[in-house]
Structure 1
Amino acid sequence: MVGDKQGTSDAFVSQYGVDLSFMAQQGLLPPVVGRDEEIDRIAQILSRKMTKAPMLVGEPGVGKTAVIEGLAQRIVEGAVPESLRKRRIFALDLLSLSAGSAMRGEFEKRMKEVVSYLQNNVEEVILFVDEIHTLIGAGKAAGSMDASQMLKVPLARGEIV
């Protein structure tokens, strides 16, 4: 990742998700064609001072993920506003997050780690959740919050992007 947090950040990201910026840097993402308008709009929203949590909505297969991959490629190329040039895109993997979390509270603990990581790296990391509707109810156990509830307040406050 960016800065002196490199070792632990990379290990963390690979444990619970994918660094799309690294994949773009390595040429591992497919080319994105015809999505310039959407990529520009996402970059514009992410560059705001406040209220910078864009959401792409559409039917499966229409290219929502491709737009984010295109943004990752643009970040690597430096073809984004200055405020985004040192950012990385972290794609949260709910399967990795929930794998082996059968014990009560384990998923919630992991999700708290993700939120803490994002808060500590808010100027460096952009969170991407593919199929965000799957967060609702994810990890929910009696007396605990689900993943969507754990992200709601930090997103609303701008503590994570």
Structure 2
Amino acid sequence: VGKTAIAEGLAKRIVEGDVPEVLHNATIFALDMGTLLAGTRYRGDFEERLKQVVKELEDYPGAVLFIDEIHTVIGAGATSGGAMDASNLLKPALSSGAIRCIGSTTYKEFRQFFEKDRALVRRFQKIDVNEPTVEDAIEIMKGLKPYFEEFHKVRYTSEAIKASVELSARYINDRKLPDKAIDVIDETGASQMLVPEA
């Protein structure tokens, strides 16, 4: 529902200086759990990598860690043979205020994984992001339109953007706006690239 877009928008506003004083010198760093876990075959590999990331963030003034799908930190790395998972490695730095962190997850995954770790939940303030209205989703899609046009080398009419939102809202029930409208526009652009030129 645009959870990641909120963090990206915050980063953009920081660069533009359109944030409260406390964030003027902030820099957002995104943590890619998949990359961090990749190749961690030996006991302690993951722990050492994450500890190094935390240390570098602690030493970087104004650092803000962004973890997309933050529920994945619970249990992450524990399967590599180490004693600690990512959440337990992050807790000391979070509780001492040594690092600031933003995480995003879905409501379902928050309840299923994140909420069960009471010590971790205490270190965050939960902010619910509701699905945008159809009208708001159309405005969001208008903002994304140039990126998809450039990527797919196509042009989308305003009617196509509006239809992608309205029809996906009506017929795609297992996803939320604007994600399902983004998929419609993305798949349409990709399929158009496959059409042979006349």
TM-score of the two chains, using structure 2 as the length reference: 0.48
Partner residue, 2:64: 126
Greater helix content: 2
**Paired residues, number:** 99
Kindly indicate whether the alpha-carbon contact (under 8 Å) linking 2:40 and 2:46 is maintained by their aligned counterparts in 1.
yes
1:6-21 to structure 2, matched below 5 A, reads none
Percent identity between the two aligned chains: 57
Partners of 2:52 and 2:12 lie apart in 1 by: 27
Decide which of 38, 45, 57 is 1:106's aligned counterpart: 45
Partners of 1:126 and 1:156 lie apart in 2 by: 14
Partner residue, 1:40: none
Decide which of 54, 63, 74 is 1:136's aligned counterpart: 74
Q: CA deviation at 1:78?
A: 0.4
Contiguous gaps of at least 5 residues in structure 2? 101-198
Q: CA deviation at 1:143?
A: 5.4
Question: Are 1:67 and 2:6 an aligned pair?
Answer: yes
Partners of 1:157 and 1:131 lie apart in 2 by: 23
* Greater relative CO, 1 or 2 (CA 8 Å, sep 6+): 1
Partners of 2:81 and 2:72 lie apart in 1 by: 18
Partners of 2:40 and 2:89 lie apart in 1 by: 17
Partner residue, 1:92: 31
TM-score of the two chains, using structure 1 as the length reference: 0.59
When the two chains are superposed, the root-mean-square deviation of aligned CA atoms in Å is 1.2
Contiguous gaps of at least 5 residues in structure 1? 1-61
Partners of 2:48 and 2:83 lie apart in 1 by: 10
Partners of 1:66 and 1:149 lie apart in 2 by: 27
